[in-house]
Amino acid sequence: MADITSCGHAGTLESSDVLIHIEPSQDIEINLISSVEELYGDDIKALVLEVLEKMNIKAVKVDINDKGALDYVIKARLQTAILRALEDGDKPDWSLL
């Protein structure tokens, strides 16, 4: 299991982008602010959980401020935020992503 030991962020608040901030936590906690939350909120959260599982992250707080980003943008921003928060020895196996 990779441990999140510091904060990491990625993205912007521009249209069609997403700003993701992560920090250490005891459990997985996802906070979503999105203009399309009513339509796609469950899908966005499911995507976040999928990425966390593939990267073997078991405890992290994820704050998402979505401005209409597509799935691949959300995934890339989340992966970047996680990599910025991990210690060098905890980098993921890229073949699994």
Q: Which domains does the chain carry? A: 8-87 (3.30.230.10)
pTM, full prediction: 0.89
As a whole number, mean pLDDT of residues 24-36 equals: 96
- Which has more pLDDT, 3 or 47? 47
How open is the CA angle 23-27-31, to the nearest 5 degrees?
60
What mean pLDDT, rounded, does the chain reach?
A: 92
Q: Kindly tell me if the per-residue pLDDT of 1 is higher than 60.
A: no
pLDDT category, 46, cuts 50, 70, 90?
very high
H or E element at residue 60: strand 60-66
Q: Kindly tell me if the per-residue pLDDT of 2 is higher than 90.
A: no
Which tokens in the block code for residue 96?
């699994």
As a whole number, mean pLDDT of residues 39-51 equals: 97
Q: Say if residues 22 and 64 touch (Cβ distance below 8 Å).
A: no
How many alpha carbons lie under 13 Å from residue 12 in its C-beta half-sphere? 4
